[in-house]
Amino acid sequence: VDKTAADYMELFHFHNVPPLSKNTAQVLFSSLVPGSDVELIAKLVRLSKELKTNHSHLNMTFGPREIYRTLQKLSLYENPAHQNSELFRCLNNSCLTSFAPQDAKKDFNELLKSLGLPSSSRDLPTTKEQTKAIQSRFNLHTADNHVESDTAHLIPQVVFHENKA
């Protein structure tokens, strides 16, 4: 079984099959991911249609599958600041903007801005909660410096875990 068959099929559908109407797509996605923001769904559907009808150098696909995946990821976060940063990351990852030329990235960011979506990581505020969440996710912490005499060698603040195998 080819693991990329679903992706190829989605690309075919994205470029050759007429899309659902905006209202039908919104109802479909709100039923697939309960509790998702209706306004955000409308913006993502508009982004998908804009990318599909735009015939400039924005050759990016953002089909129903990406919208569904993005909404699923955003449903995991309760804090709106976390949702916005995850939304920015999801949009850029699913549209493969890291591989796009600078002009395409610029046009994509302008399109995001015109739709009211986060268009730059600089637009996103970082909160103490977000920093703590990242630190706990990767187990980042510093050890206290236990040097008591002035003549002792200073030890860098690095945590070493013993391998008890």
pLDDT averaged over every residue in the chain: 75
Query: What does the block give as tokens for 112?
Result: 């995001």
The stretches in the chain having pLDDT less than 70 are 1, 55-59, 121-165
What is the reported pLDDT for 162? 66
How many domains is the chain built from?
1
> Which one, of 118, 119, 110, lies nearest residue 58 by Cα?
110
Q: Per-residue pLDDT tens for 117-135?
A: 887 765 555 556 556 665 5
What's the predicted TM-score (pTM) here?
A: 0.61
Tell me which residue range forms the domain holding 19: 5-126
pLDDT attached to residue 150: 58
Residue 141 lies in a domain: no
Q: Which two tokens stand for residue 146?
A: 């236990």
| Within a domain: 137 | no
Q: Is residue 44 part of a domain?
A: yes
Range 40-44 contact pairs with CB under 8 angstroms and sequence separation of 24 or more: 40/71, 40/74, 40/87, 41/67, 41/71, 43/115, 43/116, 43/117, 44/70, 44/71
> End-to-end CA distance of the chain, in Å?
40
In a domain, 51, yes or no: yes
Residue 54 CB contacts under 8 Å (≥ 6 apart), including other chains: 111
Evaluate whether residue 59 is within a structural domain.
yes
Q: Is 39 among the domain residues? A: yes
Which pair of structure tokens corresponds to residue 73?
Answer: 């990821």
What's the confidence (pLDDT) of residue 157? 63
What is the C-alpha to C-alpha distance for residues 127 and 133, in angstroms, rounded to an integer? 10
Assigned domain for 100 exists: yes
Structural domain contains residue 151 = no
Distant-in-sequence, close-in-space partners of 55: CB < 8 Å, separation ≥ 6: none
Q: Is 87 exposed, middle or buried (0-12, 13-18, 19+ CB in 10 A)?
A: buried
Residue 42 φ then ψ, to 5°: -60, -40
Which pLDDT score is estimated for 54?
74
